[in-house]
Amino acid sequence: MSESTILNLPDQSTARVPKRNFITAEDGLLSWLLTGDHKRIAMLYLISITFFFFIGGAFAGLIRLELLTPQPDLVASDTYNKFFTMHGVIMVFLFLVPSVPATLGNFLIPIMLGARDLAFPKINLLSWYLYVVGGVMVIATMVLGGVDTGWTFTTPLSTHYLNTHVITTALAIFVAGFSSIFTGLNFIVTIHRMRCPGMTWFRMPLFVWSNYAASILMVLGTPVLAISLTLVLLERVFGIGVFDPTKGGDPLLFQHLFWFYSHPAVYIMILPGMGVISEVVSTFSRKRVFGYTAVAFSSVAIALFGFFVWEHHMFIMGVSNYSALVFSLLTMLVAVPSAIKIFNWSFTLQKGSITFETPMLYAFGFMGLFTIGGLTGVFLGSLGMDIHLTETYFIVAHFHFVMVGGMLMAFLSGIHFWWPKITGRMYPEAISKLAAVVTFIGFNLTFLPQFILGYLGMPRRYHSYPPEFQILNVMSTAGATVLGIGYLMPIIYLAWSLKYGAVAGNNPWQATGLEWQIQSPPLTENFTEIPIMDHEAYDYDWLEHKTKQEVTTVG
């Protein structure tokens, strides 16, 4: 055991990946496509969301390529509009929303709770199929010529003024939304009803708490998206007038309905990532998360408050000044629990024993970038400031900081952290550290200039721009190139590790948590017998005591 890493691999000359595990349990494509095993479903999700991530990323590359020059010279305006719409739709609905919950959450939550599976395995599988159907419909939209409403489907543009494939896309998101609802439903029931004996709420890992909060949002918020899209469809097909001022309707009604979901959606996206950070920071500091209860409650607080701030996306849309006051105040309140978490994670480092493996590097990246992203959110929640900054690149920079600098880094942190558990093999540490640093540098280069562009007034969704904005755009595109490389690297070395990576053993990180006490990869039934939880979460004393008494076995 070296001093600068806690990695503890079994003796590689004799170690083997266990022959009987959830991957080798059954053979054949159908055994995967008709599985009820939450771990296999998580794998299916991982493959699909990675696929969609790269499509969404390709669109991002095309956008940045066009924005190298002030003139609209690469593609036609309609095409460019389709680029950013597809980028948004794919990244939000087909990548970020399912990313951590559907892959890591699906895989880990039953194990972390000491259960054999989620409450409803068949619904879990249905969830994946709904996701795939939604994804295929989005691809169909692309193939048929694309959609250019923007991911926000603003009416009356989307209902009466475009002749692109709005209906297909709206239906696709409708279907994908149900995937999200069923995942959230499954998690909530599992967490309430399937904890093993001794696993009280406050002994659960914080990863479970975060996913629980996100699941509440998924279950209660997504149906409102469904009805918003349904109304857009009806308006588009039948011209019923619900959003049409000439018929007495109100286009602002759509805004309220849409943002009622889409604001909680951003918390759906970030909360599971925060759960990952809790696990990673605690493991690589070798101590319990500072202020466990505060972090747990702050997750639920974010979920709760998150439902009451949606109008902050509409401050300049002619809403009553007094309603704007209320929502601005609530927005400030929802910022506080996130601040609490950042400080709690920072202070987990105090008096810890810290190492800097790749998951920890990504976690540090998260903490810095999410702080910037979150604080710039306060800019936007402050009413007067929002007038100047809204609808500009400041917004774009803000949400990319929290979504990419925050959530995506957390996702990568989690993937690296639990990779040995999922696959039984270790990823290569040196190149993964390099990828983390490349990503961090690329990210900052891409999105920091966009804050400046935003204050200058460069509007978002612009195909062409005044020439004096060019230098910042060129910087941003340069950064995007670096960022793209940073994201390609893990694909390569993670795939490589499947065959050539070191055998990981049960607990390469020497972490607490029930998932680290079973074999890697786990058995289909997770546990040979249901554990009884007799210690607190992140109990490193218990772990030390246990490993002293344990004889390290092979394979």
Window 487 to 506, contacts with other proteins (CB under 8 A): none
In the complex with other proteins, the residue whose CB is nearer, 326 or 498, is 326
- For other proteins, which residue of 65, 132, 332, 478 counts as binding (CB under 8 A)? 332
Under rule CB under 8 A, residue 163 binds other proteins: no
**Among residue numbers 179 through 208, which ones bind other proteins (CB under 8 A)?**
181, 185-186, 188-190, 192-194
Segment contacting other proteins by CB under 8 A, of 41-49, 125-133, 292-300, 492-500 = 292-300
Selection from 485, 414, 415 nearest residue 443 by Cα: 485
Side chain identity at residue 511, one-letter code: A
- For other proteins, which residue of 59, 107, 212, 292 counts as binding (CB under 8 A)? 292
Under rule CB under 8 A, residue 512 binds other proteins: no
Q: Rounded to an integer, what distance in angstroms lies between the CA atom of residue 136 and that of residue 131?
A: 9
Residues for the chain: how many in total? 555
Segment contacting other proteins by CB under 8 A, of 90-98, 137-145, 326-334, 509-517 = 326-334
**Among residue numbers 428 through 467, which ones bind other proteins (CB under 8 A)?**
452, 455-457, 459-467
Under rule CB under 8 A, residue 59 binds other proteins: no
| String of DSSP letters for 450-477 | HHHHHHHTPBTT-SS--GGGHHHHHHHH
- For other proteins, which residue of 61, 145, 146, 291 counts as binding (CB under 8 A)? 291
Side-chain half-sphere of 267: how many Cα atoms within 13 Å?
A: 35
Under rule CB under 8 A, residue 162 binds other proteins: yes
Tell the smallest beta-carbon distance from residue 371 to other proteins (Å). 5
In the complex with other proteins, the residue whose CB is nearer, 317 or 491, is 317
Side chain identity at residue 199, one-letter code: M
Side chain identity at residue 399, one-letter code: F
Under rule CB under 8 A, residue 555 binds other proteins: no
Dihedral sign for Cα 39, 42, 43, 44, please: positive
Side chain identity at residue 452, one-letter code: I
Under rule CB under 8 A, residue 333 binds other proteins: yes
Tell the smallest beta-carbon distance from residue 376 to other proteins (Å). 7
3-state SS class at 503: strand
Q: Rounded to an integer, what distance in angstroms lies between the CA atom of residue 98 and that of residue 370?
A: 19
In the complex with other proteins, the residue whose CB is nearer, 223 or 428, is 223
Q: Are 373 and 401 in contact (CB under 8 A)?
A: yes
In the complex with other proteins, the residue whose CB is nearer, 287 or 421, is 287
**Among residue numbers 113 through 132, which ones bind other proteins (CB under 8 A)?**
115-121, 123
Selection from 442, 437, 439, 449 nearest residue 475 by Cα: 449
Selection from 398, 462, 476 nearest residue 64 by Cα: 476
In the complex with other proteins, the residue whose CB is nearer, 425 or 463, is 463
Selection from 146, 169, 170 nearest residue 232 by Cα: 170
Segment contacting other proteins by CB under 8 A, of 155-163, 416-424, 429-437, 510-518 = 155-163
- Which residue matches tokens 């995506």? 408
- For other proteins, which residue of 65, 349, 482, 489 counts as binding (CB under 8 A)? 349
Size of residue set near other proteins by CB under 8 A: 140
CA angle, residues 36, 41, 42, in degrees to nearest 5: 140
Q: Rounded to an integer, what distance in angstroms lies between the CA atom of residue 299 and that of residue 447?
A: 27
Under rule CB under 8 A, residue 34 binds other proteins: no
Dihedral sign for Cα 492, 128, 96, 43, please: negative
- For other proteins, which residue of 364, 440, 447, 509 counts as binding (CB under 8 A)? 364
Q: Cα–chain-centroid distance for residue 439?
A: 16
Under rule CB under 8 A, residue 227 binds other proteins: yes
In the complex with other proteins, the residue whose CB is nearer, 33 or 316, is 316
Under rule CB under 8 A, residue 75 binds other proteins: no
Selection from 229, 223, 120 nearest residue 181 by Cα: 223
- Which residue matches tokens 């969609």? 52
- For other proteins, which residue of 58, 68, 133, 240 counts as binding (CB under 8 A)? 240
Segment contacting other proteins by CB under 8 A, of 128-136, 268-276, 385-393, 501-509 = 385-393
**Among residue numbers 90 through 109, which ones bind other proteins (CB under 8 A)?**
none
Distances (CA, A) of 296 to 203, 300, 402, 407: 11, 7, 20, 18
The tokens for 54 are 């790269």
> Which secondary structure element, helix H or strand E, spans residue 153, and what is its range?
none
Q: How many CB atoms lie within 10 A of CB 76?
A: 10
The tokens for 304 are 């709760």
In the complex with other proteins, the residue whose CB is nearer, 317 or 554, is 317
Segment contacting other proteins by CB under 8 A, of 24-32, 243-251, 489-497, 499-507 = 243-251
Under rule CB under 8 A, residue 307 binds other proteins: no
- For other proteins, which residue of 13, 14, 293, 549 counts as binding (CB under 8 A)? 293
- For other proteins, which residue of 257, 302, 422, 438 counts as binding (CB under 8 A)? 257
**Among residue numbers 130 through 149, which ones bind other proteins (CB under 8 A)?**
148
Segment contacting other proteins by CB under 8 A, of 12-20, 342-350, 492-500, 546-554 = 342-350
- For other proteins, which residue of 9, 25, 126, 157 counts as binding (CB under 8 A)? 157
Tell the smallest beta-carbon distance from residue 481 to other proteins (Å). 20
- For other proteins, which residue of 21, 169, 228, 450 counts as binding (CB under 8 A)? 228
Side chain identity at residue 546, one-letter code: K
Under rule CB under 8 A, residue 357 binds other proteins: no
- Which residue matches tokens 């194990």? 111
In the complex with other proteins, the residue whose CB is nearer, 209 or 487, is 209
Query: 197: buried, middle or exposed (CB in 10 Å: 19+, 13-18, 0-12)?
Result: exposed
Selection from 171, 157, 149, 134 nearest residue 82 by Cα: 149
Tell the smallest beta-carbon distance from residue 495 to other proteins (Å). 30
